[in-house]
Amino acid sequence: MKTIFIFLLMFVFAVSIFAEWKKEQGMKYNKLTKEEEQVIINKGTEEPFSGKYANNKEKGMYTCKRCDAPLFRSDDKFDSFCGWPSFDDEITGAVKRVPDADGMRTEILCANCGAHLGHVFEGEGFTAKNIRHCVNSISMNFIPADNAKTEKAYFAGGCFWGVEYYFQNKDGVLSTTVGYMGDYVKKPTYEQVCSGKTGLVESIEVEYDPEKINYEELAKLFFEIHDPTQEDGQGNDIGEQYLSMMFFIDSGQKRIAEKLIKILESKGYKIATKIEKKSNFWEAEDYHQDYYIKNGGTPYCHVYTKRF
């Protein structure tokens, strides 16, 4: 009986390894040099201060050397003087954490292809987020901001925690930021906006890859994760700061927003969503960013409802 049990364990392990191999064969990976394989595949570490991105100050995006998946933004990079690039945040869903083989550290991998990136540390106090992703330069490529193929969209649909939750889980979305839209108060605080007397609206900035998802798909998602017919807020969140709104950057986004509203109205919905040109977007306090990722759970006031 013991022999049979061991055999079954070995068989299951072999099947899982084969399945992972088949998965990898279906992905198109970039060709790596021997030095890159040593770090990315064999989980090695480049010498400190030897990587070309350790002191890089340019604006842009860092992507996986093996599969080109977006990993980190330059806005989240900081000087830790450790000899390797350091980031206090990652693009949502881009990095996977696993216990390191040494039993003490936490390894970080590209969530898309499993490439070894480095390690993550918490509690060091370098930044307000108190997190350091210590990454090998050789595991990444860098795309300057001028060359990055990204676009942005802005929406407001009640409590920005719930709106962000759904956009973060959409393929093609690179990053999300919650904040307040409006010109009436400069650098507003959450308490000011909650008063309902600022004229500002809880909003979200969505940065996305136009080669993977377009504005119309994002706008359709927006209409399906909140109630666009409610005129005074969302659910129990009542007030001008919780209104349903779309903020267009250009005439193309405006036309798409107007088209989708007409489609919904033809289906019998009385749409309350307002369409306005984007004004100042003020980033909300750090404790509001990635709320459900940090605190767990799911939105209580946003539910997905198919409308298109």
Residues assigned a catalytic role: 134, 159
Q: Which residues lie closer than 8 Å to 218 by C-beta, 6 or more apart?
A: 153, 155, 167, 170, 173, 206, 208
Q: Which two tokens stand for residue 83?
A: 């000899």
> Could you give the residue ranges of the DSSP H alpha helices within the chain?
2-26, 34-40, 160-168, 190-194, 215-224, 251-266, 291-295
CA nearest 45: which of 15, 8, 83? 83
Furthest-apart CA pair in the chain: how many Å? Answer: 75
Would you call 138 exposed, middle or buried from its count of C-beta atoms within 10 A (0-12, 13-18, 19+)? buried
- Residues 109 and 71: their CA atoms lie apart, in Å, by 10
